[in-house]
Every structure is written in C-alpha cells, then in structure tokens.
Amino acid sequence: MTTTRLHVDRERCIGAGMCALTAPEVFDQDPDDGLVLLLHAEPPTAHRVAARTAAGVCPSGAITLHGPGPGAA
C-alpha cells in the first residue's frame, strides 16, 4: 500500500494560512512567524483529500504531495 507523503517548504511559505484553514488536522501555523507547520507528513486516509486540496490552494506552492492520486484510498 502506497501512502501519501507531504513536504512543506517553510522558506517558500508566505503565511497565508490556506493550508491550516483547509486541512486543520494536517497543517497549522507557527504562532511566532505565521509559517506553515506540518502536523502529519503521512496523513490518515480520512484527511488525504483535504491535504491534497490544501496543497492545491497554497498561494506560494510551499506544499508538495507525493503518493496516490485523487480517488486513491
């Protein structure tokens, strides 16, 4: 079984917070600098769609996702 794996680039992050709003179970924002915090590099199945959506709406492209595509369990 292939898992979905996330990576965040805090250097690229602009602190817009779209990730934390879209997938709060997977992402948060650092209270000091507002940059992305990755809570789960391998999100559980129930949160993969939200994680994929968050990666897609990130305005700076700071989130990359590797693994199963849409519709994969």
Measured CA to CA, the distance from residue 24 to residue 19 in angstroms comes to 7
Contact (CB, 8 A) for 12 and 64 = no
What's the confidence (pLDDT) of residue 70?
55
Q: What does CATH list as the number for 5-66? A: 3.30.70.20
What's the confidence (pLDDT) of residue 67?
80
The answer on pLDDT for 68 being more than 90 is no
H-state helical runs in the chain: 18-22, 48-57
What's the confidence (pLDDT) of residue 73?
45
Instruction: Break the chain into its structural domains and give their ranges.
Output: 5-66
pLDDT digits (tens, 9 = 90+) for 21-64: 999 999 999 999 999 999 999 999 999 999 999 999 999 999 99
Would you give the end-to-end CA distance of the chain in angstroms? 9
